[in-house]
Amino acid sequence: MKKRLPIIILSLLLAAALGGCALFPSRLHGVERLLVVQALGVDRVDGAVRLSMASAADSARGEGPIRLSGSGLSISDAAENVDALATEEELFCAHAGHVLIGETTAREGIGGVLRYICRARELRMDLPLYIVREGSAADALLKTGDDRIGAVEELDMLAATAPAREGRRPPGAAQIAGELESGGCALVSALRLVPSSEQREEDGAPLTLAPAGCGVIVDGRLAAFLEEEDMPGLDFLTGAQGVHTLVVRDREGQRVTLRTAPGRTRLRALRGEDGRLTGLELSVSLKASVAEIDGAGALSDAEYCDALTAAAEREVLRLAGRVLQRQKALGADFLRLGERLALASSAAERARDGALRDRSDAPEIRLAAEVVLLHSNDVRDG
């Protein structure tokens, strides 16, 4: 025992030190003194960085959301300044779930923000990024909501509903950085600060964050936006995993609202006899149900259904075609057709095709759509 005692004491001391006990002076404080920051906003203003932060409301303590803002020469410097000017609590960013970037800042370049997220040990690398359209990240975080709920609650809700709405989760920083590295362009979800639909008598409707399409980042800078109306088309072209609403006319000219279910998109290379790539064919397969008819439908009539299906397919082609036009106009492969073509081709074909974005002769892209009507929500129309 005499021999073992020093070893036991040494082990306990080392265990305490390695375990992070307050054996030595530490900057770490108790959890009750931490202000858990859940959303960050970055704006560049006159060469300086304005960093905004927001936490969710604490309903258990009856406290509303906390909003903070400060400036500095860099994001880290701004964070230090915000921390220094915070009244009581210590900022804790490890559980941040959203990062917002103002539109002006995004047009100057998002590379700095991406590098900061990948480098900062406090932040997760898959943090979803959003661009605030026609506004700053500070406005979005500081002005959203009221004294009961704030931007964090809105962002949480948007992130949770995004897969159903857009067919994908908001892309995270690591994914965006990877796509920019490999393809030179990436899509980033966009938001807009708008008055909410909540009606109040006294001081008007509070501001809320609404989805506003997505930004197309080319070579690290925001080049253009796809509108919210383009999101179904984007989804149809990239995987058709979302649930969308299509409004079409039936053969009687009545308005019919269809609700699509997740389907799939296939890409096929069209090649000439010599194996040369002549074009691409994108086929979208969807299932849909009738949600609403502006009059009497005749769904038991095969001709009526065929006409309705044809109208739905035309609408799918119109929506997808519009996004393809945007891609062509921008000259950036944000649909990642090049990567998908490479995946669908053999090694010899890949070698012959070369990189899609480097080709001077852009291959013709054909679109095809197939919609299958599933049911009419428990009502027999005709």
Partner 1 sequence: MRMEISDKQLGAAFFVLLLSPALRLFPSFAAQSAGKAAPLAALLAFFPAAGYLFLVLRAAALRREGEGLGELLLRAAPGRGGRFVLSLLGAWLLVYAGFVLRSGADRFIVTVYPDTPAAFFVLTMAAAALAAAFAPLRGAARCARLFLPPVALVLALVLGAALPRLRRENLLPLGPSAFGGLFVGTLGALDVLVWAVGALCLLLPETKKGAASFGRLLRPLAAGSLLLALLGLCLVGCFGAPLTGELSWPFFSLVRSLVFFRSVERIEALVVALWIFPDFLIAALFLRAARRALSLTLARRLPLLADGRLALPLCAAAAAAFALLAAPDAASLARWSRLYIPAANLFFSLVLVPGVLFAGKRRRRI
Cβ atoms of 356 and 268 closer than 8 Å: no
Q: Minimal distance in Å, beta carbon 269 to partner 1? A: 13
Query: Which H or E run contains 162?
Result: helix 151-166
Kindly give, in sequence order, each residue whose CB lies less than 8 Å from that of residue 245, ignoring residues fewer than 6 positions away. Answer: 257, 258, 259, 260, 291
Cβ atoms of 223 and 331 closer than 8 Å: no
Q: Minimal distance in Å, beta carbon 24 to partner 1? A: 8
Closest CA to 231 of 216, 212, 247: 212
Q: Minimal distance in Å, beta carbon 287 to partner 1? A: 24
Stretch that binds partner 1, among 41-49, 119-127, 250-258, 364-372 (CB under 8 A): 119-127
Compute the distance between CA of residue 45 and CA of residue 131 in angstroms, rounded to an integer.
Answer: 16
Q: Which residue has the tokens 């506003």?
A: 212
Candidate list 111, 112, 172, 206; residue touching partner 1; CB under 8 A: 172
Cβ atoms of 251 and 241 closer than 8 Å: no
Stretch that binds partner 1, among 128-136, 186-194, 262-270, 340-348 (CB under 8 A): 340-348
Candidate list 107, 124, 268, 314; residue touching partner 1; CB under 8 A: 124
* SS3 category, 229: helix
Candidate list 163, 289, 345, 357; residue touching partner 1; CB under 8 A: 345
Candidate list 343, 362, 372, 379; residue touching partner 1; CB under 8 A: 343
Q: Minimal distance in Å, beta carbon 126 to partner 1? A: 4
Cβ atoms of 75 and 116 closer than 8 Å: yes
Q: Minimal distance in Å, beta carbon 19 to partner 1? A: 8
Q: Minimal distance in Å, beta carbon 299 to partner 1? A: 39
The angle that helices 111-119 and 75-85 make with each other, rounded to 10 degrees, is 70
Closest CA to 165 of 132, 211, 215: 211
Q: Minimal distance in Å, beta carbon 22 to partner 1? A: 14
Candidate list 235, 340, 369, 371; residue touching partner 1; CB under 8 A: 340
Question: Measuring CA to CA, how many Å separate 126 from each of 86, 180, 362?
Answer: 27, 15, 33
**Could you say which residues in the range 9-38 bind partner 1, by CB under 8 A?**
10-11, 14, 17-20, 24, 27
Q: What is the dihedral of CA 18, 23, 25, 26, to 10 degrees?
A: 50
For residue 248, how far is the Cα from the chain centroid? 28
Candidate list 1, 4, 5, 7; residue touching partner 1; CB under 8 A: 7
If binding is defined by CB under 8 A, does position 347 make contact with partner 1? yes
Which residue number, 124 or 287, has a Cβ lying nearer to partner 1?
A: 124
Q: Which residue has the tokens 């998908």?
A: 340
Which residue number, 20 or 295, has a Cβ lying nearer to partner 1?
A: 20
If binding is defined by CB under 8 A, does position 125 make contact with partner 1? yes
**Could you say which residues in the range 88-117 bind partner 1, by CB under 8 A?**
94-95
Stretch that binds partner 1, among 123-131, 233-241, 259-267, 363-371 (CB under 8 A): 123-131
Question: Measuring CA to CA, how many Å separate 241 from each of 166, 218, 260, 300, 307?
Answer: 8, 25, 10, 28, 25
Interface contacts to partner 1, rule CB under 8 A: 7, 10-11, 14, 17-20, 24, 27, 94-95, 118, 121, 124-126, 172, 174-175, 177-179, 181-182, 336, 339-340, 342-343, 345, 347, 350-351
